[in-house]
């Protein structure tokens, strides 16, 4: 049976509303079936749509399910921050002041509210070698020059990423996103440093997303996996600002912050653009 539910649309990881990554959030999602959630996520035609439920875990403030237009995700970054912003806007009160605990497919995820911007604690990342044959095929498809490739890795923090570290942001921006597509190519991450006079430290792109777009505007989970990778090879020596979405006219800004005991936090601003009701 359909009923009226609270609904919000949030723009995440940008200082300028409408220049980030949009997220649809269905609050009070009790009673919806898996099929209803997937069909609605397909209808919104956004990278992700989330559904909030009362928590089953007593440590959590709420439970979250995340859907792209074609499948459910165990974890994603901009849905985590955007859903937290919507939950707080709807009057949610954290059990512990200063942080929100989300329960999702990868378990409990903490969102720290005490920094300059809200930031989630990046979940653990499995770091493996990207098979050389896969790296070669992807590099050729994207038009990457061998001299521009510093290293590669296969990262898994719920989603699985095939990641190339390149010598420069210019090399990242030059990659041909139209040459790869889901599901022939699983998600690809690119990262490269900006010049010292740029406001951001690195440029990131995520290609071949399962949402059906050729490129994801801003990807918190990819940045979280990359941050753990950088930490593992001794390259996360300070807090960083990441630009993403530049090539598709977005102004994404992701803030990577080093926490205590080796924790990595991924932060960004969220803006509620639509706050209303949904009959579903």
Positions marked catalytic: 48
Question: 3-class SS at 144?
Answer: coil
Tokens 């996996």 sit on residue? 225
Query: In angstroms, what CA-CA distances link 254 with 97, 115, 141?
Result: 24, 13, 27
Query: In angstroms, what CA-CA distances link 29 with 11, 38, 109, 182, 237?
Result: 20, 13, 20, 29, 41
**Inter-axis angle of helices 220-232 and 77-89, nearest 10:** 120
Task: Provide the residue count of the chain.
Answer: 280
- Angle among Cα 270, 127, 168 to the nearest 5 degrees reads 65
Question: 3-class SS at 201?
Answer: coil
Name the residue among 169, 177, 260, 268 with its Cα closest to residue 224: 268
């Amino acid at each position: 049976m359909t009923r009226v539910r609270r609904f919000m649309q949030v723009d995440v990881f940008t200082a300028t509303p409408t220049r980030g990554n949009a997220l649809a959030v269905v609050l009070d999602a009790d009673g919806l079936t898996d099929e209803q959630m997937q069909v609605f996520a397909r209808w919104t035609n956004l990278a992700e749509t989330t559904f909030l439920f009362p928590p089953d875990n007593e440590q959590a403030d709420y439970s979250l399910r995340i859907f792209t237009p074609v499948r459910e995700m165990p974890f994603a970054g901009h849905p985590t921050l955007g859903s937290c912003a919507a939950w707080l806007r709807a009057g949610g009160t954290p059990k512990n002041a200063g942080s929100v605990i989300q329960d999702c497919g990868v378990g409990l995820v903490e969102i720290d509210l005490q920094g300059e911007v809200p930031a989630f604690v990046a979940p653990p990342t499995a770091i493996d070698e990207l098979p050389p044959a896969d790296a070669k095929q992807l590099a050729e498809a994207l038009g990457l020059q061998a001299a521009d490739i510093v290293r590669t890795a296969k990262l898994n923090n719920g989603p699985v990423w095939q990641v190339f570290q390149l010598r420069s942001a210019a090399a990242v921006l030059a990659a041909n996103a139209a040459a790869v597509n889901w599901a022939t190519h699983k998600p690809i991450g690119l990262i490269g440093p900006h010049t010292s006079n740029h406001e951001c430290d690195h440029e990131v792109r995520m290609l071949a997303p399962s949402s059906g777009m050729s490129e994801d505007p801003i990807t918190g989970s990819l940045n979280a996996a990359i941050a753990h990778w950088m930490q593992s090879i001794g390259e996360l020596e300070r807090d960083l600002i990441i630009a993403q979405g530049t090539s598709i006219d977005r102004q994404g800004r992701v803030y990577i912050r080093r926490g205590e005991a080796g924790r990595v936090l991924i932060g960004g601003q969220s803006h509620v653009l639509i706050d209303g009701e949904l009959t579903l």
